[in-house]
């Protein structure tokens, strides 16, 4: 358990004023799991289809480029958050340093992305649960939505713990699927070496979509400020590196199996 005195000392050294956004301590792997969990979603399943015309090498190239620059931007956001005494989300930071226009642009970006993901995941998960339990998709969506909302309501700490468990399970599942593909039907080298730069731009758009964990950085900064803030940049880099590896391996198995 974190030492309350140490937590308070860390917060005072960094300068955060705890207000409505309660500051909860995070461990290193909880922070990493939050980043991976925020990044990995429907995008990882669309990459193989979206890149099948361009080829796997071009996908790998764009994932590395997008992941690198997104990681750099996340480190900038982390430093900005740590230098700001008031607990603010990304749109609040944009308002403070970029004005009202910047705040509304960030708010629109976050709202469009998060609402789109929420609708897609709730509807998709509802259909999956309805297939398993032989119930209506609406009831299946409620079964998915209620516990997911409860975890978020319990706070950053509960979210970090749940994401750690879910991310570990997801990693095991992905590893099993990839190994089953390689050991079973197998993958062909010529399928993975094919590339066509004519279709490169749409792949770049998909790669950018798959790295959306910037929104979590202000909360991560506050969480690590209550435990060990020096672990924050390491957690960001580690989480983004794991994300990039997963985004590369899943399409590798799919494209290597089915070809362009």
Q: pLDDT at position 155, please?
A: 66
Read off φ and ψ for residue 163, nearest 5 degrees. -65, -35
B/e letters for 122-146, b = 16+ CB within 10 Å, e = fewer, are bebbbeebbeeeeeebeebbebbee
Measured CA distances, 210 to 29, 64, 107, 110 (Å): 20, 12, 19, 14
Q: What's the average model confidence in pLDDT over 105-115?
A: 81
Q: pLDDT at position 19, please?
A: 56
DSSP string over the chain: ---HHHHHHHHHHHT-B--SS------HHHHHHHHHHHH-SHHHHHHHHHHTTT-HHHHHHHHHHHHHHHHHHHHHHHHHHHT-SB---HHHHHHHHHHHHHHHHHHHHHHHHHHHHHHHHHHHHHHHHHHHHT--HHHHHHHHHHHHHHHHHH-HHHHHHHHHHHHHHHHHHHHHHHHHHHHTT---HHHHH---GGGHHHHHHHHHHT--GGGGHHHHHHHHHTS-GGGHHHHHHHHHHHHHHHHHHHHHHHHHHH--
Q: Are 59 and 47 in contact (CB under 8 A)?
A: yes
Q: pLDDT at position 42, please?
A: 66
Q: pLDDT at position 229, please?
A: 86
Q: pLDDT at position 11, please?
A: 45
Going along the chain from its start, the domains and CATH numbers come out as 4-12+23-258 (1.20.1740.10)
pLDDT per residue over 201-260, tens digit each? 889 988 888 888 888 888 888 888 877 888 999 999 999 999 999 999 999 988 888 887
Q: pLDDT at position 72, please?
A: 95
Identify the top-confidence range among 16-20, 150-154, 247-251.
247-251
Sign of CA pseudo-dihedral 108, 114, 120, 123:
negative
Q: pLDDT at position 234, please?
A: 94
Q: pLDDT at position 241, please?
A: 95
Looking at the DSSP assignment, which residues form a beta bridge with residue 86? 17
Range name among 74-78, 95-99, 236-240 with the lowest pLDDT average: 95-99
Q: pLDDT at position 224, please?
A: 86
> Given a cut of 80, is residue 48 above it in pLDDT?
yes
**Tokens, residue 161:** 């713990």
* pLDDT category of residue 1 using cuts at 50, 70 and 90: very low
Q: pLDDT at position 160, please?
A: 67
Mean pLDDT of the chain, nearest integer = 82
Q: pLDDT at position 13, please?
A: 46
Choose between 75 and 155: higher pLDDT: 75
> Given a cut of 90, is residue 61 above it in pLDDT?
yes
How far apart (Å, rounded) are the C-alpha atoms in residues 257 and 250? 11
How far apart (Å, rounded) are the C-alpha atoms in residues 185 and 229? 46
Range name among 19-28, 30-39, 88-97 with the lowest pLDDT average: 19-28
Q: Does pTM top 0.85 for this prediction?
A: no
Question: How large is the angle between the packed helices 217-225 and 156-183, nearest 10 degrees?
Answer: 120
> Given a cut of 70, is residue 20 above it in pLDDT?
no
Q: pLDDT at position 16, please?
A: 58
- Longest Cα–Cα distance of the chain, Å, equals 59
């Amino acid at each position: 358990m974190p030492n309350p005195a140490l937590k308070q000392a860390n917060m005072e050294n960094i300068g955060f004023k705890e207000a409505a956004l309660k500051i909860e301590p995070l461990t290193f792997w909880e922070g990493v799991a939050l980043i991976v969990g925020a990044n990995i979603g429907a995008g990882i399943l669309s990459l193989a289809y979206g890149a099948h015309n361009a080829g796997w090498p071009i996908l790998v190239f764009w994932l590395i480029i997008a992941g690198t620059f997104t990681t750099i931007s996340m480190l900038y956001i982390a430093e900005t958050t740590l230098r700001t005494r008031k607990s603010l989300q990304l749109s609040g930071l944009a308002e403070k340093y970029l004005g009202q226009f910047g705040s509304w642009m960030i708010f629109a970006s976050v709202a469009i992305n998060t609402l789109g993901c929420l609708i897609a995941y709730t509807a998709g998960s509802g259909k999956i649960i309805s297939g398993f339990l032989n119930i209506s998709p609406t009831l299946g969506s409620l079964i998915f939505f209620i516990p997911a909302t409860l975890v978020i309501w319990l706070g950053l700490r509960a979210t970090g713990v749940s994401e750690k468990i879910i991310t570990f399970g997801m990693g095991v599942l992905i590893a099993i699927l990839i190994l089953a593909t390689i050991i079973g039907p197998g993958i062909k080298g010529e399928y993975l070496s094919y590339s066509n730069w004519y279709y490169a731009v749409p792949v770049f758009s998909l790669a950018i979509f798959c790295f959306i964990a910037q929104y979590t950085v202000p909360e991560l900064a506050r969480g690590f400020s209550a435990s060990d803030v020096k672990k924050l940049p390491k957690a960001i880099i580690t989480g983004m590196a794991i994300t990039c590896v997963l985004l590369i391996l899943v399409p590798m198995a799919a494209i290597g199996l089915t070809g362009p």
